[in-house]
Every structure is written in C-alpha cells, then in structure tokens.
Structure 1
Amino acid sequence: MKKTLAAILAVSMILSVTACNDSTASGNGDNSGNTASSATDNANTEQLRSNPIAVDADGNIDMDVALKYETDVDALIKKLEAKTPDGSKPVSENTNEETLELFNYLKSVYGKQIIAGQQYSDANQFENIMYYNTTGDMPAIMGFDFLYAQGTDTPDYTQIEEAIKWHNEQNGIVAFCWHWKVPVDMSDKSVKGTAFYSDEIRDFSLEKAVTPGTDEYKVIIKDIDTIALYLQRLETAGVPVIWRPLHEASGAWFWWGVKDRDTYDKQLYQKLWYILYDRLENYHKLTNLIWVWNGQSKKATVNANTYDIGGMDVYPSSEDHSVQIASYSTLSKYTDDIGKMSALSEVGYIPDPEEVFKADSKVKWLYYAPWCKEFVCASNGSGAVITQLGGTPSINTERMSEEFLKSVYSSEKVITLSELPDFKGTTKKIPEFIKSWKFNNPKLTIENDKLTAYEQ
C-alpha cells in the first residue's frame, strides 16, 4: 500500500491533515471545512478535484482525523426526503465534466440500445482476448473490483492501473464493485484473516459497524476512506466510475445483506449505505461517481436521491438468454416512476438483444455484465481458463455458442467498445494484451476486426 499510495499522496498528505482537521461533523453531511488541493501522480502535477483525504506519514488513513466526522443518518434521510428525485441528472452534486458526459451518454442510449459489459478477472485479459478473437471487438464496459484494496497483506493493485488504461487508452467505460472484506472475528484477536461471505465470518456485527464508537465502526470508516483514496486516484486520472457498492443486499450471503427481520427493522443495511454515500459524496466530495443501487429487494431499498442506476444480478441455473422479465419487474417497481435506469449488473448468461428489443418488450436494460472466467471462457472445471496454442481462450459452449456471441456483437442494438463515442481525454489504442497475443499468433487473422481504426 505504501508504494502505491505514495505517488498520489506525496503532496496532498500535509494539506489533507490541515484541511480535514478544520472540518467538524455537521450532522447533515456538510463538509465545507475541507478544500481541494493538488496531488502528484506519477511525477505529474494534476488537479485534485475532491477533498484531500487525511493520511499519516506511512500513507495509511489518519484515524484521528477520520473519526472526527460522523454521519447523522436521520438528518441525512430527512434532507434526502425533502428532494424530489430527478433521474435526468446525476444524484451527486459534485459531478465533474467527464462523469457528466458519461451519464448523459448512458441516458441517451437507455431504452434504445444495450451496452455490452464484462467483469474483469486479472491481467491475463482472457475474456477480452476471447471476445476479440471471436467477434473482432470487445465489451464497452469493464467491471473491476476493490476486493484486494483493503485489509490484505499482499494487495493486488493491478485493477486500478488496468481501469485507468481501459478508459484513458481504450476509451472504455469503467465500473467498480466492492467485495468488502472485514475481520473474521472481532472478539478474538488471535483469529486472523478477512472475509466478505457471511458463512466465513465468526464475529462481525453489522449493527455495531453502523454505531459510532465501536471497533467495528472504526473498521468500516478506515475501509471507506481507503477506498476513497483509490476512487480519488481514478478521479485524478480523469476516469468516471459506475460505482456499485454493497451489492446483492437482498440475501444473507454477504455480511452487509438483509439477513433477517431484525436487520430489516433496524434498517442496518440502509444505515451502512447512507454512511458510505455521505462520506464519499458529502465529506470527501468525490466528483467521478455514478451510483448503482444493487439491493434487489424492497427490504433493501434506499432513498432514490442516492443512486442513478438500479442493478439486478441474475444467475439462472441453466442456459438462459431470456430478457429476465421477472428481475426487471421487481426492479422497475422502485426505479421506473422516478426516472432511474436499470441494468443487469451481473449475469450468468448474456441476454438475447433481439428478445430485449422485441416490439412488445417492456424491458429496458442499460447494460449487461457477465461474470468472468468460466462464465464466458472454457475452463478446466475449477474456474481456471483453458488456453490453446498461443494463449488463446475459447468460448464456454455450455453458456453460449460462437454463433450466438457473434450475433450479439453484430446486433445494431448492442453497443460494443468500438461503437462508443470519443470520451473526453481518451485515446483509442490497441491494448497491449491484444498486441502481445497477436504477436504470439502471427498467422492469426481476425474476421470482421472492428478495432482496425484504433492506434496500433
């Protein structure tokens, strides 16, 4: 962490502590005491658009400063309820130019076309190589994960750099979720390790996590501010983020989920959502977030003024390329009347665009994003992708045929990478992983290569 954070924090660290020490917990999310400063990023001075985040001399979150700000959830909800939801603009009042450009683009295609997405797995980029080899194109949205960004001894920061390259060099759209790891056992310090699955956690209380003064609360504040640093790294690089935290809250499989009636009655998931939203939006004032609520159930609903897109994750038990009407009907009850967009934020199977856009279809999905590895590529049964000569992965034919994928990527209703508009501050370059793969396969010819106009 020290090496990665040092670049962005070298200049802003001292200013961060000064600015944050001037701010106090307002009870309504106000953070007027903080002012923006500049940060160094890979030796280039760039404008820091959001508030500086206080860190100590080692680049870790300064908890003395961080804990001085507390979210007054009741006051925040009252403030949110006083506003009429307006789906024509982002919920964030801090939105920068690049993020507004992306938001307006998403609104312009919603209901007319569906954007092809894909969850990122690792730097091998097997999924994208498979797409390119099969269709001559790649997904427009890449979904990354803050899974390794906090609470680990050997964190993998590759996804931050890959996300910046995806947007700035390939002109792609970046999405991030967060499989939020917390300590396995808060009551027994001898038990090491972190986890996000409920059945792997022995003692971590969601109720205590949203209660200031507890050890659990200190954990989540440190984690949120750590993620804020990475979001700020993306912001400084000019990368808008489709931001999907606290996902799949309708079930008990994640520690933040609505697991029982007591959790629902006390609105514990909602309190965690509001704390997270308030710190990123009103305290740190990040400018690059398009918020996705992925609660998937009435019992996990949050105020509509805290999200731009409603997401549903759908994993059928057998091959199913339908429009997922049941999931859309569930989601639209909370989103349609207030002008929110809906998305298949995770899918096990790509929906057939011809079915999505049939004349009598009532479904409007903004984008779809299959999960990675074996969900699109042939694997060895344990999740590892099988590659042929030259490192070429192939389609998992148990989930879709080559003909189906080609038909999806050639459909006028589907937006792929090559069909995105030129976003502000980006280039269109052939990715290094594609160059390397083609170098190892010199006799390879790509049928209907749609990236021929990209810089080589």
Structure 2
Amino acid sequence: MKNYLKSILLLFIIFIMYNCSSNGDDEKPPVTEKATATITASQVSVLEPSTDGEFVVKLSKSVASATELSLTFGGTAKNGEDYKTIANTIVVPAKATSVKIPIEILTDKIVEGDESIEITLASSKNADVIIGSPAKAVLTITDAIVDIELTPANVRTYMVNKNATDETVALFYNMKMLAKTSFMVGQHDALLSFYKNNAGDSDIKKTTGFDPGMSGGDFMFITDDPNTGQEDNWWYAQEKLIKQAAVNAYDKGMVNMFCWHMREPFEGKTFYTSEMTDTQKKNAFKSILVGGANHEYYKNKLKKIAQVTKSLKGADGKLIPIIFRPFHEFDGDWFWWGKSFCTPAEYVQNWRFTVEYLRDELGVTNMLFAFSPDASFTSEADYLARYPGDAYVDVLGYDDYGNFDNKGDAGANNANAKLQIISKLAKQRAKIAGLTETGYFVTPGKNNPISGLYSNYFYSAMTKNNVELSFMTFWGNGGDTYCTPTPSMSDASDFIQFARKEKVALLNKLPKMYKMP
C-alpha cells in the first residue's frame, strides 16, 4: 500500500510540473513581424521641360521610431545634373507609413533622348524595418518635342564648329532651309566617274541637262599608305583628280560630301572584313583609339585629311566647305569599324576624338560632320545607339540600298519610315537630314532596270509623310554599271520624270548655297 501511494504521489508531481512548463511557454511574448520598405515611381515618365515627378517610399506598417533608409542612384540621368540633387538617405518619420522623394527636372537646351532615373533602397538603419520588393523604381525623362527654329543669327549655335567659315555656316543654313520645300539630288564621283567611262559632263547632266546638286568624294586614295605625294605616284595622281573635282563642283555651286573607306591600320590593304584575318578584325578599331598601338598612325591620316581639306579653295579664293562622313554603315559587319568589332562606347570615343582633333588641334574650319548608319535601325533608340551627341554631328543620314532592290512599294515605304525617324530627329536637334547613300546597280544584261524606280519608289520614299530632307545621294556610275541612267538607257525617261518633280532639286533649282540669304 505504501508503494502504491508513493507511485500516486510521483505521478501527481509530474503532472503539476508538466502543466507549469506548458503555462510558462504560453506566456512568452509573440514574435513581432518586421515592417518592409518598398519604393515606386508615381508615374512612368516625365517631360523636359514642363513636368516633374516623384518616387514614393512606403512601409508595410508603421513603426514606433523614425526609419532612415539609404539610397543608391542609377540610370542614364545624372543626380544633380539632369535633376535637382537628391540626398543619399531618406527618413520615414515615426508612426508614418510613407514619404515622397520629389524629382525636380533640370531643363537644358540639349535634346538627349530618353534618360532614366533609378533609385534603389539599399539598407535600413531601423532594426524593425527590412527592405522589401520592389526595392528599385525607375522614372524616364523624355524630351518634349520642340522643333528648333533656325535663323541666320542663331545657326552657329547648333553647329559642331562654332568658328566655321562663313561659307560653311551658309551651307549648313541653306541645306537646312532647302528641306522645307525640296531635296537636293547628288551622286558620288559625279564629276569623275561615268558609265562606260564616257567622260565629260556628269551622267546626270547628260540625261537631264543639269548637274546634280551634290558631288561625292572619298579620302580613300588620298590617305592610302602608298600615296607618296610625288608626281609619278598613282595615288597622288588620284588625290589631285579628287581635289580638282571638288573645286569644280564648288565653282559650279554644288555641294561636296566626302566619305572615307579607310584601310585597316595593320597592313593598309583593305577596308572589308572579308579580306582581313580574325586578329585584324578583332583589334583594328581598338588599335586606333587613344592609347592604342595604331593611334599615332590614325592621327597621321587625320593630318592628311586636314591638310587636303584646308587646301581646297574655289575660284573665289574661299575655302571650300565639305561634308565629312567617316565610319559609315557602322551597324553592319562588312567594314572593320562595324558593330561586331567595337563597342558603342568605343565608336563614340573615336568619333569625338576625330572631330576634336580635326577641329581643335588641326584647325579645320570648313567641314560639317555626317553620321550615317546603314538601314538596320527601326526606331529612334536604334538609330541613336552609337550616336556621339549633338555637339559632334551636323548631318543625320543613313545609307539604303536594300529597300530599293526590287522591293516595290513595300521597300519604299520601309525606307520612308526610316527617313521619318531622321527627319523628326533633325527637326528637334537643328540638324541636316538626308539619304546619304543609295541606288540600284543596273548592269544591262544582268541586273535590268526597275520600272518606276526613280519617279515612283525613290520619290515617294523621299516625300511621303511630310518628311523634311535636304538631299539624297546616288552611288557613282562606272564601267558597265550605273545607278543613274545615261540618255540611251531604257530607264532614262523615268529618271527625267523624277528630276522634273516638284520637290527634286538638281543644280538648276538650288539657291546660292554658300551665301547667307
């Protein structure tokens, strides 16, 4: 009996201890859920100028003490430059659940395209608050669409070289004004290269009775390594021919535009990647950048271009203005400066160096600078992907052969869509716009003429949807192939019909391009 009572007592003690233990657990304070901090933008985008924006920081619930949150900034817009300076911390007051970060847009006169402001919540100094999601918010600054009104008084403001010669300034202004009523028609090597090598008048003059408004040239032979500058040298002979053609064009009242098929800098033999080694393709462009193995070599080529440009004088004794179009069709891979062989930053870096070296170091004052990708772009963002900035470009253009190669109305409409993009950008940025290089290569018996190519497809591409374009340039004729027909060709009548259309300007319809009105 005694043992039985002891067992009962032991069980009772265990029961009491268990209940006491359970009651103790129930009395522990509950775990408190922490507040989370998030950030959002009140609107997706704002306009420069005219509208500001804001970000909002929110806590999931209020807390007893103030919460200091640290911020980091990203995006293409700069804190304190594109918008009023924002501190790198923000405080949510005690017992509050939100606070606003006002964004005051700082207005400038530069059209920069869309810029982004990114603010990220980096950390919290309040132990009761953690960073939640979303921790980053983005706001876009969009330039308001304002067409710049160019006048003789303000034209230098919008040019790359504010110290350009009076004739160069007049050329810029007159080309810009021409776009309001018509577009100039040009041809590469108009006064040097002819179908069937039939020299004399330009092929366009042979067919229409009037020279084109623009003549194209190339610094290729001029800057080639074998050019010794000696009278018995073939390359130097080409240099003299090219220079004389530019003088003749100026004296006629035509406009000169020079491209540059620069040879790769290792052997100086080609500009086509199909003829280069993989090592050459990979390193050619990088080697001409500042600090690169061929940078001095590149500078010497620019010195030659400057020397030739500064030597061009017309019968009036004035320096002849030229449009310089370097490193064109960079969105393709057929040239060693193409998109696969340099980054956008490297392309921009070299473009800016080129402009600054020619303008500031070598003192070239009779040059406008033209930016011209090929036809791969489909939007403003595509077009501007490697754009070096308004301070480094006078002419917005692009090259297009594919849309006129038996593509009919669809091709013309596609070309017009691209021309709408550059026309709009040129209005907003006070730049000249044009179709910098185009054509369809006719070799009778192989590639035959296209019915209505000039009077229908080219003309509609250059005029539909109220585009404002200053010029278009056909590639040159030569040998058995032409881009503009001579009188005996079956498509000569189509070209004549094109030349007589209201908005087409050959030389006879141009104003005095080198005189300010």
Counterpart-to-counterpart distance in 2, 1:396 and 1:271:
46
Counterpart-to-counterpart distance in 2, 1:280 and 1:342:
22
Judged with a 3 Å threshold, the aligned counterparts in structure 2 of structure 1 residues 87 and 327 are, in CA distance, closer, same or farther, namely same
1:355 counterpart (443, 450, 460): 460
- Whether contact under 8 Å (1:150, 1:227) holds in the other structure is yes
1:105 Cα deviation after fit: 1.0
1:221 Cα deviation after fit: 0.9
- Whether contact under 8 Å (1:312, 1:344) holds in the other structure is yes
SS in 1 for 2:167: helix
* Matched residue type, 1:208: S
- Whether contact under 8 Å (2:208, 2:499) holds in the other structure is yes
1:97 counterpart (151, 159, 166): 166
Q: Which residue of 2 aligns with 1:147?
A: 220
Residue 110 of structure 2 is aligned to residue 84 of structure 1: yes
1:368 counterpart (472, 477, 483): 472
Judged with a 3 Å threshold, the aligned counterparts in structure 2 of structure 1 residues 335 and 257 are, in CA distance, closer, same or farther, namely farther
* Matched residue type, 2:248: K
- Whether contact under 8 Å (1:182, 1:219) holds in the other structure is no
- Whether contact under 8 Å (2:217, 2:242) holds in the other structure is yes
* Matched residue type, 2:422: L
Residue 493 of structure 2 is aligned to residue 403 of structure 1: yes
- Whether contact under 8 Å (2:205, 2:212) holds in the other structure is no
**Structure 2 counterparts to residues 120-159 of structure 1, below 5 A:** 120=189, 123=192, 125-126=194-195, 128-153=201-226, 154-155=234-235, 156-157=238-239, 158-159=241-242
- Whether contact under 8 Å (2:182, 2:504) holds in the other structure is yes
1:254 Cα deviation after fit: 1.2
Residue 172 of structure 2 is aligned to residue 172 of structure 1: no
- Whether contact under 8 Å (1:313, 1:347) holds in the other structure is yes
Counterpart-to-counterpart distance in 2, 1:276 and 1:137:
36
1:313 counterpart (395, 399, 411): 399
TM-score for both structures, normalised by structure 1: 0.63
Instruction: Write the deviation string for residues 390-426 of structure 1: whole angstroms up to 9, x where unpaired.
Output: xx955665xxx2222111222231111122234559x
* Matched residue type, 2:177: S
**Structure 2 counterparts to residues 8-157 of structure 1, below 5 A:** 84=110, 88=150, 89=155, 90-120=159-189, 123=192, 125-126=194-195, 128-153=201-226, 154-155=234-235, 156-157=238-239
Give the stretch that moved more between structures: 237-246 or 96-105. Answer: 237-246
**Structure 2 counterparts to residues 307-346 of structure 1, below 5 A:** 307-316=393-402, 317-318=405-406, 320=408, 322=412, 324-332=415-423, 334-346=425-437
Instruction: Write the deviation string for residues 180-222 of structure 1: whole angstroms up to 9, x where unpaired.
Output: 1133xx3xxxxx542111222332431222132x331121111
Instruction: Write the deviation string for residues 226-271 of structure 1: whole angstroms up to 9, x where unpaired.
Output: 11111111267521112211111111211112216xx326x11111
Judged with a 3 Å threshold, the aligned counterparts in structure 2 of structure 1 residues 410 and 93 are, in CA distance, closer, same or farther, namely same
- Whether contact under 8 Å (1:113, 1:366) holds in the other structure is yes
Q: Which residue of 2 aligns with 1:448?
A: none
* Matched residue type, 1:201: M
Counterpart-to-counterpart distance in 1, 2:512 and 2:389:
33
Aligned residues: 319
**Structure 2 counterparts to residues 220-369 of structure 1, below 5 A:** 220-234=298-312, 237-259=318-340, 263-264=342-343, 267-296=345-374, 297-316=383-402, 317-318=405-406, 320=408, 322=412, 324-332=415-423, 334-349=425-440, 350=454, 352=456, 355=460, 361-369=465-473
Q: Which residue of 2 aligns with 1:163?
A: 246
1:125 Cα deviation after fit: 4.4
1:287 Cα deviation after fit: 1.2
Judged with a 3 Å threshold, the aligned counterparts in structure 2 of structure 1 residues 151 and 336 are, in CA distance, closer, same or farther, namely same
1:327 Cα deviation after fit: 2.1
Structure 2 unaligned blocks of 5 or more: 1-80, 82-106, 112-147, 227-233, 375-382, 441-453
1:151 Cα deviation after fit: 2.4
Counterpart-to-counterpart distance in 2, 1:208 and 1:103:
33
Counterpart-to-counterpart distance in 2, 1:393 and 1:403:
10
Q: Which residue of 2 aligns with 1:199?
A: 274
1:385 Cα deviation after fit: 10
Going by fraction, where is strand more abundant, 1 or 2?
Answer: 2
1:149 Cα deviation after fit: 0.8
Judged with a 3 Å threshold, the aligned counterparts in structure 2 of structure 1 residues 99 and 320 are, in CA distance, closer, same or farther, namely farther
* Matched residue type, 2:110: T
Give the stretch that moved more between structures: 148-157 or 133-142. Answer: 148-157
Judged with a 3 Å threshold, the aligned counterparts in structure 2 of structure 1 residues 281 and 394 are, in CA distance, closer, same or farther, namely same
- Whether contact under 8 Å (1:182, 1:195) holds in the other structure is yes
Residue 287 of structure 2 is aligned to residue 208 of structure 1: yes
Judged with a 3 Å threshold, the aligned counterparts in structure 2 of structure 1 residues 211 and 280 are, in CA distance, closer, same or farther, namely closer
Counterpart-to-counterpart distance in 1, 2:225 and 2:340:
26
SS in 1 for 2:473: strand
Q: Which residue of 1 aligns with 2:507?
A: 417
SS in 1 for 2:172: helix
SS in 2 for 1:299: coil
- The CA RMSD over aligned residues, in Å, is 3.2
Counterpart-to-counterpart distance in 2, 1:264 and 1:408:
41
Question: Which one has more relative contact order, counting CA pairs under 8 Å at least 6 apart?
Answer: 1
Counterpart-to-counterpart distance in 2, 1:305 and 1:193:
31
TM-score for both structures, normalised by structure 2: 0.56
1:160 Cα deviation after fit: 0.9
Q: What percent identity do the matched residue pairs reach?
A: 21
Q: Which residue of 2 aligns with 1:71?
A: none
SS in 2 for 1:344: strand
Q: Which residue of 2 aligns with 1:20?
A: none
Counterpart-to-counterpart distance in 2, 1:347 and 1:385:
9
* Matched residue type, 1:282: D
* Matched residue type, 2:184: I
Instruction: Write the deviation string for residues 135-194 of structure 1: whole angstroms up to 9, x where unpaired.
Output: 1112010011111011242311111111011112x12111111111133xx3xxxxx542
* Matched residue type, 2:500: S
Counterpart-to-counterpart distance in 1, 2:216 and 2:149:
23
- Whether contact under 8 Å (1:294, 1:311) holds in the other structure is yes
SS in 2 for 1:215: coil
Structure 1 unaligned blocks of 5 or more: 1-77, 187-191, 387-391, 426-456
* Matched residue type, 2:161: S
* Matched residue type, 2:270: A
Judged with a 3 Å threshold, the aligned counterparts in structure 2 of structure 1 residues 385 and 304 are, in CA distance, closer, same or farther, namely closer
Judged with a 3 Å threshold, the aligned counterparts in structure 2 of structure 1 residues 122 and 319 are, in CA distance, closer, same or farther, namely farther
Give the stretch that moved more between structures: 282-291 or 326-335. Answer: 326-335
Q: Which residue of 1 aligns with 2:7?
A: none
